[in-house]
Structure 1
């Protein structure tokens, strides 16, 4: 058990037609994002990610969400909705699917491609349902509308979950970048429409929300990358998340301009870049 308040008792039985949301990770930490929605005995999960260990946790490779709350209830899960393809949102799926391999996974084209490649390494053949922004999908008692949001990985989605108990908007991770590299901005019109109709709960990503000012555009880093790659007399080593497709594309563009060759290092980097290339990202 790793509850922040172990003295708390189990929650009471859920009344018919009431909605309960339990976070199994991702609160007060950057990683292992996982939220479980429950109504009338059915469960919908949003994201299932890992947390990477700190320096003070030697020998630990990954930290998983606490699946204890799902014990003996895996058959009640209608689907897992994935907001985007970062490890802190999809990385724990292999461990969840070991408990029940045929759970429906819902996500965008790139997200599901990254998931499928990851699960292949674990010898798991997933059940996938691709969705696009603007699409509404009914999953058991949950109606899920998918909304385009901008993030550091393509094809990110927010989801508005409607049940008989009300409307919950889960933003996933997002940026308000008005000049993204792929031209796909956060769909503020859709969020405004949903908000005007009425939202009972907004679950919003808050990473660095306490930092004043505006988030710079992803384009702003291009001159610095170009300058470093152009002036370095020897090799340039660029550290990046393996799923940061836009950043890596900028590195490739700068390397090409200055006649440099690029080598990907790391299994995840090689795998994810192959997936992004094959899908045209």
Structure 2
């Protein structure tokens, strides 16, 4: 298996008759999925999603794919093909369209509706092409056939991209639920037909490659929710992804069966479910929905709140409810259902929300104590079926952390794909398909691009490190005035600390050491305030580390008078 190597250099110029694949996100992480296919100087983008920040990235709202590889080639992009409407596949579209607004967007009806609503907030009117399963579209030099796949959102599609260099089949996110709520199964007949014609590169969802067997049917969640609703005494709060139409449908059906009314809470939840209902993907029982502004008119034992925040996102409704910062409060005899699986990296945030809700007296039902959610991704048994059906010449696992990619690669080898034809790549790694063989040929820059409020890409890893230090170790400022010619201390040093358990008075012990170091500093040719600031930083840092076992951010200010 081809392994990504840290010493990979830039790729060579694209040779004639070669198809190049570069993943700018989604390989080595769960999120910001984006792949760029290149043939004959033209580009096709498959998905353009975001990654949500973890605890060690304070202040960051979203993380985008790194567009630098294509920033000077925007006019070469034929289209952006979107496999489905989840944020980790569509969330970065507005940021790419800011660079070129007329890139066509290609996807299913529901996917495009979700994207268009998002783009409206960015004041972008996109060019769109709605496609269905079984449809084939010519996008420049790329011939794209769309295949129905089952996922945790309706209208998901895989895409087969045909070029003279070979055919790529990208699954998007998928599973093989044989009893889906909407009756739309993964089209394995189309997979088999494509396999018979020859799939040169199979790009396969890896998220559940470590999970043995088969993913549970969505239909099995209905009876569990029904039992939870039957046992609930007061209000029920259900948290899910804002795009999980199937789960919302099950909640609406359970509410109707138990004589309850449902209020959608959260802007994204209201927006997405309104779109889904308008397009016929969500069937709302008569009289079940109630406006969130009117929930006070509904008795607690007849109310269900459907909200966002199942991953512990700080600003989502459920997190604010758990911390007492939301207008909606929960208490004893209320029931809260977290109807989602844990995304890796979010565990601490989710458990913090669960503990907060439990402390308020609510009964919390989650994946650890009840089957209230099933994954939207194929487990190992389903992936084995796909490899045997498609019989690809080359395999490139996508969508997953490194452990998921490696597990998926091992499954491909078990089904007979030669190990040398299985490509393990991470973000930025360049893979060329030529003469029926896929190989790693180099790498392009591919960092994390942080969205921080209105700033896009303005925050660096060094600045995030400073934020972590401020949050974990505290802050000390030192102000001292020195004579501009002799360097003698005229005023100070004045020290002030923040984020310390100790009183500021403890820092007075270091004042003589600062004054002594400044007095001993050479001043030939005049006072160098920058050099004096470095001296103060070293003295204070050494003292605080030795005496207090802390490594705070130290901000010295030396003024020459």
Residue of structure 1 in register with 2:225 after alignment: 225
Residue of structure 1 in register with 2:206 after alignment: 206
Q: CA deviation at 1:6?
A: 6.0
Q: 1:33-112 alignment to 2 at 5 Å?
A: 33-112=33-112
Q: 1:88-237 alignment to 2 at 5 Å?
A: 88-237=88-237
Question: How many angstroms apart in 2 are the aligned matches of 1:186 and 1:164?
Answer: 27
Question: How many angstroms apart in 2 are the aligned matches of 1:5 and 1:61?
Answer: 30
Secondary structure, counterpart of 1:262 in structure 2: strand
Bigger Rg, structure 1 or 2: 2
Q: CA deviation at 1:56?
A: 2.3
Question: How many angstroms apart in 2 are the aligned matches of 1:161 and 1:269?
Answer: 33
Secondary structure, counterpart of 2:128 in structure 1: strand
Q: CA deviation at 1:5?
A: 6.3
Structure 2 length normalisation: TM-score?
Answer: 0.49
Secondary structure, counterpart of 1:264 in structure 2: strand
The aligned length equals 278
Question: How many angstroms apart in 2 are the aligned matches of 1:100 and 1:10?
Answer: 25
Does 2:286 correspond to 1:279? Answer: no
Unaligned 5+ runs, structure 2: 282-561
Q: CA deviation at 1:193?
A: 0.4
Unaligned 5+ runs, structure 1: none
Secondary structure, counterpart of 1:20 in structure 2: strand
Secondary structure, counterpart of 1:263 in structure 2: strand
Secondary structure, counterpart of 1:167 in structure 2: strand
CA deviations 1:143-184 (Å, max 9, x no partner) are: 000000001100000000000100000000001100000000
- Alpha-carbon RMSD across the aligned residues, in angstroms, is 1.1
Q: CA deviation at 1:211?
A: 1.0
Question: How many angstroms apart in 2 are the aligned matches of 1:218 and 1:58?
Answer: 35
Structure 1 length normalisation: TM-score?
Answer: 0.97
Question: How many angstroms apart in 1 are the aligned matches of 2:144 and 2:222?
Answer: 36
Q: CA deviation at 1:7?
A: 4.3
Secondary structure, counterpart of 1:174 in structure 2: coil
Secondary structure, counterpart of 2:261 in structure 1: coil
Question: How many angstroms apart in 1 are the aligned matches of 2:143 and 2:279?
Answer: 28
Secondary structure, counterpart of 1:242 in structure 2: coil
Question: How many angstroms apart in 2 are the aligned matches of 1:240 and 1:57?
Answer: 23
